[in-house]
Amino acid sequence: MFQKILIANRGEIALRIQRACRELGIGTVAVHSTADAEAMHVRLADESVCIGPPAAKDSYLNIPAILSAASITGADAIHPGYGFLSENARFAEMVEAHGLTFIGPSSAHIRMMGDKIAAKTAMGGLGVPLVPGSDGAVPDLATARTVAARIGYPVLIKAAAGGGGRGMKVARAPDELDEAFGTARAESRAAFGNDAVYMEKYLDRPRHVEFQVMADQHGAVVHFGERDCSLQRRHQKLVEEAGSPALDAAGRERMGETVTAALAQLGYRNAGTLEFLYQDGQFAFIEMNTRLQVEHPVTEMVCGIDLVREQIRIAEGEALGYGQSDVRFSGHAIECRITAEHPETFVPSPGRVTAFHAPGGLGVRVDSALYAGYQVPPYYDSLVAKLIVHAPDRPAAIARLARALEEFAVLGIETTLPLHRRIVEAPEFQAGDYTIHWLERFVAGGEP
Ligand code: ADP
């Protein structure tokens, strides 16, 4: 049993993990940059350690400082949250080398899935359906032309080390391939220090549907159903739902079985998410995330489970203690990601929050580290709150979301709350009739 967990993160996710620790009777250590000395995750932790100046590379990505903080405070384990070091295989190895437990999968699996080409090869080999594309990396333009001719335009050039939608370029016709290929390579070199790219057929109207999986160290694997994350801007998720409006129980069960069988064969452990594009009733794997996801609360609401608690129990070596037939799905949940950005221009809006009023009532959950008087720093991700609603069915969840968004007030900074209020009123959203391309056009004010 862990006595103390160091949480190597900030903001709402650091608080989220603290809450699970507290309920399990485990002590918490917060780490923070000098810019975050007054942050809620620091105020609510049992102990805190300053690990460096504001820039993430000097603090939240500063491995020696984080390991020193764990050693000074006598922590037994480190939870990385999402982002920052959560998918850094080297970090997971160093944590273990220091005699601590990394709350997550093995470093070998983190490394494998961090290389999106290796991830596709592995999953394809385990019987998971893939998006048609290149067989591995595409080293030059001549190969790109051959692949494009085989799979047909439009094609997507993607970074092998990709993440956050960067290093991804579409070529709709042969005359666009040269530029798309060059730009994708340059972008991925700049963002990830690695210019390996691969190619996929660019799907024209897919939904993004992903499966949440949890595996223990004794070979048991269960899935907690799917999330629909099709509402995206610049390949970044804005609104997520569980379950998907496009999937029924039989479809969920079928794909769930494929996914759990693959991960059991892989010997995977802890939490993971397999991401798919779903079009014309077909699933096609795009990538796997080897960590807790931002959108995990919608799954928690429909399954009545605490995913962070499960991650901690599994890392302690406990067995899951239940099987797939024990996982029940109840009702519908929707999450809005609220960022400190202008709701139309998306220009970041850090600054002092002068008033903060979170909605409440039945079936409403707010995961946020904001408070009145808090100064949102300009150095980090702009996500400041997640509003999650749960109701017996999708129409009731939408009604609840609309009223919760009306109640929500954040003053002093710009937020995307007004955009979420518009989305919830849109007929396409209400009908559940949208693909990954819908929101982009809706935001731009064009015809959806
Ligand atoms: P990242 O790791 O950068 O987030 P992903 O591979 O997860 O990249 O893709 C992010 C998003 O980009 C997907 O959710 C989807 O909206 C879009 N996308 C990815 N691959 C394709 C594809 N082959 N066709 C159409 N859209 C795609």
Of 185, 291, 313, 337, which residue is the catalytic one? 291
**Nearest-atom index, ligand 1, CA of 202:** 24
Measured from CB, residues less than 6 Å from any atom of ligand 1 are 131, 156, 162-165, 200-203, 206, 208, 232, 235, 275, 277, 286-287, 436
- What was the pLDDT predicted at 447? 52
For 132-201, the fitting CATH number among 3.40.50.360, 3.30.1490.20, 3.30.1490.190, 3.40.50.2300 is: 3.30.1490.20
Please tell me the residue having the least CA distance from ligand 1 atom 8: 165
Sorted by where each begins, the domain ranges of the chain are 4-87, 132-201, 207-444
Q: Is 322 exposed, middle or buried (0-12, 13-18, 19+ CB in 10 A)?
A: exposed
- CA-200 nearest atom, ligand 1: 23
Q: Does domain 207-444 have CATH number 3.30.470.20?
A: yes
End-to-end CA distance of the chain: 52
| Ligand 1 mutation pick, 113, 232, 436, 440, max ligand atoms within 8 A of CB | 436
pLDDT of residue 444: 86
pLDDT at 30: 98
pLDDT-flagged residues of the chain (< 70): 446-448
For residue 168, the ligand 1 atom closest to its alpha carbon is 3
Ligand 1, residue 164: give the atom nearest the CA. 3
Measured in Å, residue 165 CA sits from the centre of ligand 1 at: 7
Fold designation for 4-87: Rossmann fold (3.40.50)
* Centroid of ligand 1 to alpha carbon of 445 (angstroms): 23
Pick the closest to residue 253 from 301, 324, 322 (CA basis): 324
291 is catalytic: yes
> 210 alpha carbon to ligand 1 midpoint, in Å?
12
Amino acid 446: pLDDT: 60
- The two tokens of residue 236 are 């970044």
pTM: 0.97
C-alpha separations of 183 from 141, 170, 224, 237, 266 in Å: 12, 10, 38, 23, 34
